[in-house]
Chain A
Amino acid sequence: MLLVLLGACTVFQPLDGTWLFQVNPNASVSGDCAGDDSGGGTYEQLGTSDSWVDIYTVSGNQIAILWGEALLGTLEGSAVEASYDTGYTYKKRSESQTVTLEATLSGGSLEGTLTNTQTESNDGDKYTCTSQNDFTAVRSVSSPDSFAGN
């Protein structure tokens, strides 16, 4: 009887749930914002920047990663890719930001990079700054019923 109940029609979505993302706070920087502006010194952040992030399967292989903004993308095999775009154009000025997450799902954990590209353009002058942070993530397996108020 229990085996029948456990065999009910539910499709396991390997990404669905709440994940703990641990991000290396030391970003690789490229573009117009790169360069030595620290007077020759070096600066290194310690530890990781940790965040709780919810991931949903929307339909088929399409996913939504809620990390501040909603990054929309796909899970293809073990490859995860999702992105978020924003920006505006007003007369001769425009600004845009693209956040791209690329990761590999392996053994129930995610490992990848988060790339943030910001572009500003004003009357032909263009400025681009790209920063990239590495991260790992593991999924919470706690039951929602374990928490009072849920």
Chain B
Amino acid sequence: MGALLLTLLACNPYEGTWVLYAEVSKSPSDSEIGRDYSTSLELFALSDGSYAATLGSSPLVGTIENNELSLEDTSGYTYSAPNCDENTSTSTTSLEGEFDGQGGFSGKLKQVSTQETKGCGGDDSDSTTYEYTLTGVKLSANDPAHAGDLSFGY
């Protein structure tokens, strides 16, 4: 009975600190392709069943279902002028991937910036995409040998 209760109280396998190895797979600059970085993110379970991760300045929010992760953050604006001009600028960061059930993760991080103009003289759009192939491992929780913040760089 006690073992059953302990099992039910087992930790969420996704939440926690993850170390990620990222390799540039898509970039406006060909010289960037293949560059690699290491970073970390923290993944939190939320009370409504969704998940959020801290990666960069703004949290990515989304879902984990059947070991498949999908998080996103979008920002931007639309300006509509009194004439027929309309400008829209958006920046979307998305993190997608799969957990292997043994503390490992593989997926991709994508950052897309878009500028769209609809005007009296016609429409125009421009887009910039950065994509990173990710592999990650989950750190053991509450590790007293490695107290403090995790900061990796390149």
Taking Cβ atoms with an 8 Å cutoff, the residues of A that contact B are 1-2, 18, 20, 22, 39-47, 49-50, 52, 108-109, 138-143, 145-150
Contacts and interface: CB of A to CB of B under 8 A. Distances in A.
Contacts of A149: 17, 143, 146-150
Given A140-B44, A147-B141, A148-B140, A41 B81 contact: yes
Interface string B59-98: 1010000000000011111111110000010100000000
Contacts of A43: 77-80
Contacts of B17: 146-149
A139 B61 CA distance: 13
5 contacts: A18-B44, A142-B15, A142-B43, A146-B11, A147-B42
- Of listed A49, A50, A141, A147, residue having the most chain B CB within 10 A: A147
B142 interface: yes
B106 to A, nearest CB: 21
Interface of B: 1-2, 5-6, 11-12, 15-17, 42-48, 50, 52, 54, 58-59, 61, 73-82, 88, 90, 139-143, 146-150
B31 to A, nearest CB: 31
A104 to B, nearest CB: 15
Contacts of B44: 18, 20, 140, 142
B39 to A, nearest CB: 14
Contacts of A140: 44-47, 52
- Of listed A108, A145, A149, residue having the most chain B CB within 10 A: A149
Given A46-B74, A49-B75, A149-B143, 18 more contacts: A1-B2, A18-B44, A20-B44, A41-B79, A46-B75, A46-B88, A47-B76, A52-B54, A108-B47, A109-B48, A141-B45, A143-B15, A143-B141, A146-B15, A147-B141, A148-B146, A148-B150, A150-B142
Nearest to A109: B48
Given A46-B74, A47-B73, A145 B141 contact: yes
